[in-house]
Chain A
Amino acid sequence: MLNEFSNNTISLFLQKKKKKGSFFNFSLTTFSPNGKLLQIEHALKAVESGATSLGIKASNGVVIVTEKKLPTTLIDENSVKKIQKLNDGIGVIYSGLGPDYRVLISKARKKSQQYFKQYNEIIPVNIISRKVAGIMQEFTQSGGVRPFGVSLLVAGYDHNGPQLFQVDPSGSFWAWKATAIGKNSSNSKKFLEKRYKPDMEIEDAINTAILTLKEGFEGEMDEFNIEVGVITNDKKFRILEPEEVKDYISELNL
């Protein structure tokens, strides 16, 4: 495989017509003999070693939380915003490579604005999830690019009620009732399986989410090293202020 690669590169080098930089017309994500796409598997590994994020869909809203572990106290935590809005009614969180996440958010925001321009309506959650998944799939089947190293949790409230979608580096997406991604995701998911009830209210869900995050948290959890985003039936996604997060944490006596 290495020989093929170098042969291809050399032959491309010899073709003088090619512009500089466009040497890779072949995809770097190719099938292995046992039918897997190893690049995507590696990307999923990158996601698994990222910071924990989880989301819970309640009967009247969705909550997403993430741990905001900064390597040193010198970093200004106000400048780091992990939970982002795609538009007024949809919020996103990730696990994995931050820069890849930033690029995806800006592409997704553009798509949701294009939809709004066309139809004067906020894009439904399943549609934007499908479009973002489409973007991620493109990068597994194009020349010279690598897959994105992030999994996204997309939370929104539209005409189908509250919804929570996960989008993977492979480009697959599906809806969850409650899930966790990143480090400790399997333990968190077990915890959620026990605690999740379909008729949960949003307040309950926020408490459960913070509790679940605490389970795998290394060190002391306070209002500055987690982020919480909530959307209820007013269809406006809100990132909670540190004071509100502090109230929830102290309520749970953590």
Chain B
Amino acid sequence: MSKKLNFLESSFCKVLRPPQLNLRIIKPSSMAVFAFVLFALFIVFAGVIYDLIVEPPSIGVEYVSIFQYNGSTIVAMAGKNCVAIAGDTRFGVRNQTVALDSNRIFKINNRTLFGMTGLNTDILTLRESFKFQMNLYNLEEEREISPKTFAHNVAQTLYSKRFGPYFITPIIAGLEGEDYTPFLCATDLIGAMEFPKSFVVAGTGEESLMGVCETFYKENMEPDELFEVISQCLLAAVDRDALSGWGSVVHVLTKDGITTKRLRTRKD
């Protein structure tokens, strides 16, 4: 035993030597120790309370934004002298589904369709508000409003509530002018307009919709093909979104009129 130790001693301990630390032995007073412990405790508890306030613990989050209170999804696409707009028909309050037949896409006139996502109460109120405005417009101007003009009107109305906005994302789809050129417009909740040429998505399922639409969209689709594409896109997207689904409706607008079809989706 002592031989082995001698071997270890001779090989390692000769090379490795403990460092020469000239340590002073501190002997603090009891008050100093008490103060240090108190300070450390304060820091720890303050940190815990800060964390609890900034990030309160919860099991899953109810909703991050007011747009997720009701949840809905709409997509609109342009084809060859036709447009299609499709949306789900779920009306829910947080994670409970209340109704399966809430309509979010409204006909303004034979050339214009108007859909909204977001807070359901604002959708219904704005529906009435725009119906009021359009009735007066038809009576005073003795003509139907064009989709572009209606889009600007929507943006103005939303901006007028800039500091207390309506929580919706509207989409306007229509056929503009004598040669029925497709027209798409989407705005944010305070009326910043965007005029895409191909498709536009809105709602809680918009991220999954965006990907599917990018993949399947083609230019210059005929109405039948457009219907197929937009239906498949919407169905795929609402399957991935917990807050949308429970039924869907697709409108295809051509110069001959509007065709409306309801599709079955997953009931969950």
Contact check, A118 vs B141: say whether CB atoms are below 8 A apart: no
Query: Closest residue of chain A to B137, judged by CB?
Result: A119
Cα distance A119–B134 when bound, in Å? 12
Give CA–CA (A124, B143) in the complex, Å. Answer: 11
Question: In this assembly, does A194 line the interface, its C-beta being within 8 Å of a C-beta of chain B?
Answer: no
Question: A127 to B149, Cβ gap below 8 A?
Answer: no
A127 and B143: CB pair below 8 A? no
Complex contacts, A127 vs chain B, CB 8 Å:
140-141
Indicate if the CB atoms of A119 and B153 lie closer than 8 Å. yes
Which residues of chain B (132-157) have a CB below 8 Å from chain A? 140-141, 143, 148-149, 152-153, 156
> A residues within 8 A CB of B143?
159
A123 to chain B, nearest CB (A): 10
B149 near A121 with CB under 8 A, answer yes
Pick the contact of B152: A119, A124, A130, A159 (CB < 8 A).
Answer: A119
- 15 additional A-B pairs beyond A119-B153, A120-B148, beta carbons within 8 Å, are A117-B156, A118-B152, A118-B153, A118-B156, A119-B149, A119-B152, A119-B156, A120-B149, A120-B152, A121-B149, A121-B152, A127-B140, A127-B141, A130-B140, A159-B143
SS of A interface (majority): helix
A4 vs B92: C-alpha distance when bound (angstroms): 67
* Inter-chain contacts of A117 with B (CB < 8 A): 156
Interface string of A127-165 (1 = CB under 8 A from B): 100100000000000000000000000000001000000
Residue of B nearest to A118 (CB): B156
Q: Which residue of A lies closest to B148 (CB)?
A: A120
Name which residue of chain A comes closest to B150, CB basis: A119
Q: Give the interface of B toward A (CB within 8 A).
A: 140-141, 143, 148-149, 152-153, 156
Cβ of A130: which chain B residues have Cβ within 8 Å of it?
A: 140
Nearest CB of B to A56, in Å: 24
Question: CB-nearest residue of chain A relative to B157?
Answer: A118
- Give the CA-CA distance A241 to B108 in the complex, in Å: 45
A residues in contact (CB < 8 Å) with B: 117-121, 124, 127, 130, 159
Docked-complex contact A124 and B149, CB < 8 angstroms: no
Residues in chain A near residue B140, CB distance under 8 A? 127, 130
Q: Which residue of A lies closest to B156 (CB)?
A: A118
> With A and B bound together, what is the CA distance between A223 and B149 in angstroms?
41
Chain A hits for B153, CB < 8 A: 118-119
User: Within the assembled complex, what's the spacing in Å between the Cα atoms of A159 and B153?
Assistant: 19
A-B contacts, 15 listed (Cβ < 8 Å): A117-B156, A118-B153, A118-B156, A119-B149, A119-B152, A119-B153, A120-B148, A120-B149, A120-B152, A121-B149, A121-B152, A124-B141, A127-B141, A130-B140, A159-B143
The 10 closest A-B pairs by CB, nearest first: A120-B152, A119-B149, A118-B156, A121-B149, A119-B153, A119-B152, A118-B153, A127-B141, A124-B141, A120-B149
Give the shortest distance, in Å, between A161 (CB) and chain B (any CB): 13
CA distance A251 to B153 in the complex (A): 48
Residues in A whose Cβ lies below 8 Å from that of B152: 118-121
A120 / chain B contacts, CB cutoff of 8 Å: 148-149, 152
**CB closest chain-A residue, reference B140:** A127
Cα A117 to Cα B152 with chains together (Å): 8
Q: Which residue of B lies closest to A159 (CB)?
A: B143
Q: Cα distance A73–B143 when bound, in Å?
A: 50
Q: How far is the CA of A119 from the CA of B145 in the complex (A)?
A: 10
A127 vs B149: C-alpha distance in the bound complex, in angstroms? 16
Residues of B within 8 A of A124 (CB): 141
Please report the C-alpha to C-alpha distance between residue A124 and residue B148 in the assembled complex, in whole angstroms.
16
Q: How far is the CA of A120 from the CA of B191 in the complex (A)?
A: 14
A120 CA to B151 CA, complexed, in Å: 9
Chain A nearest CB, measured from B153 CB (Å): 6
CB distance from A147 to the nearest CB of B (A): 24
Q: Given the complex of chains A and B, what is the CA–CA distance between A194 and B149 in angstroms?
A: 42
What are the residues of chain B within 8 A of A121 when measuring CB–CB? 149, 152
Docked pose: A118 CA to B156 CA in angstroms: 6
Q: How far is the CA of A159 from the CA of B145 in the complex (A)?
A: 12
How far apart are A57's CB and chain B's nearest CB, in angstroms? Answer: 19
In chain B, what residue has the closest Cβ to A120?
A: B152
The closest CB in chain B to the CB of A124 belongs to: B141
Min CB–CB distance B90 → chain A (angstroms): 34
Alpha-carbon separation in the docked complex, A120 to B156 (Å): 10
